[in-house]
Amino acid sequence: MPFVNIRILEGHSQERKNEMTRRIVDAVSEIAELPKESVWVVFEDISADDWFVGDRSVRTIRSEKRS
């Protein structure tokens, strides 16, 4: 049973997550030749304060771009 864990910055709509899930499940199901019901997808929403690129949080990077 494939398990797909997606870590994504919080703030994406449920509609977007639903579409991502549909496409991922379709692809894994087709390639692995498994029924769609065998594919699990989990989203982990991460805050911009807890996601770092190098030593800077995404919140910091975003605020610098707005300046």
Catalytic residue IDs:
2
User: What secondary structure does DSSP assign to the chain, as a single string?
Assistant: --EEEEEEETT--HHHHHHHHHHHHHHHHHHHT--GGG-EEEEEEE-TTT-EETTEEHHHHHHHHH-
